[in-house]
Structure 1
């Protein structure tokens, strides 16, 4: 009995040792029959993949508060944005999840339907955004500003002012305003939304 127990323990130790050795070999980048393939680039999220299928560039952006002068303050949070650039240097940015949503969003409807908004003094893109029930404001004073920019940005001009709607959808405020006036910046998004947008 003692001999069979000792034999079982020895077999278990041998099997365990083999498994440990195999795991160590794999961790070191080799397997029993050759090297392990190098790790691949992290795959894109479904929203970012849709963005890139439509010809955009997916990029993680963070919100910034910009005051007067060269002040720029990073705020909490981050979001995948989809950026479309044109040969003329113009571009439009839209949240990747807004572009890839399987149902219409308020931002998509605003872009496609081009609703009228009241004209008011100040920044025309912010005035238009507010006039169609969105917000692009980062404060309540005329000198308050902000937008979404690349991580670790130090230039306030790189923070893109965006219009956010009640459903959380986000689109470039200037791109929206220009499109209302019949000017395409970056790319025409009308047929790039995953959802069927009424009026498109």
Structure 2
């Protein structure tokens, strides 16, 4: 198999199997316990001030045509209405009992490269995540509502090997000291070392 085809197959497997990988990694979709009560990942999101939404992955061509991919994911969106910014993270990453790679990347703010093109993609790739939804530099994609018809409805994300997902721009801005939506640092259920 050619390298480019293997990369595309790997990315599609990672995107469609990301939720399963994250769940298998530490049962992060298992209900959280707080004050003796069982709390789902969506409920944890809401308790932290976010809004739980179901999103599906999309592949976008250079021309902006969207193609829905298989799978869906419960995401948690935090919005700052005054600054008109938001950040999205997979709800299971936020509610996980143990740190996820997305949580570690957000809290630790590792140094990452800058490069030509989209700085959020370069940063994501530089810290061992992927924002790619295909095998060509012009391929893109992200997570959006079912039935999305415009790339404006899609949010680009950084996905890590454990299946955890976070808004790529929110991650890049946070690394640079800018909070988008809300500061997630104290919203993670896990203690982040």
What TM-score results when the alignment is normalised by the length of structure 2? 0.78
SS at match of 1:69: coil
1:78 aligns with 2:72: yes
The aligned residue for residue 55 of structure 1 is 49
Structure 1: runs of 5 or more not aligned: 1-44
How large is the RMSD of aligned CA atoms in angstroms? 1.3
Q: CA deviation at 1:122?
A: 1.2
The aligned residue for residue 174 of structure 2 is 179
> Higher RCO, 1 or 2 (CA under 8 Å, sep at least 6)?
2
Aligned residue among 151, 154, 165 for 2:160:
165
Q: CA deviation at 1:70?
A: 3.0
1:107 aligns with 2:89: no
Equivalent-residue separation in structure 1 for 2:50 and 2:150 (angstroms): 23
SS at match of 1:174: helix
Equivalent-residue separation in structure 1 for 2:113 and 2:138 (angstroms): 21
Return structure 1 stretches of 4+ with deviation > 2 angstroms.
none
What TM-score results when the alignment is normalised by the length of structure 1? 0.75
Q: CA deviation at 1:57?
A: 0.3
SS at match of 2:62: coil
Higher radius of gyration, 1 or 2: 1
1:192 aligns with 2:187: yes
Q: CA deviation at 1:103?
A: 0.4
Report Cα offsets for 1:92-121 as digits up to 9, x if no partner. Answer: 000000000000111101000000112221
1:91 aligns with 2:86: yes
Structure 2: runs of 5 or more not aligned: 1-38
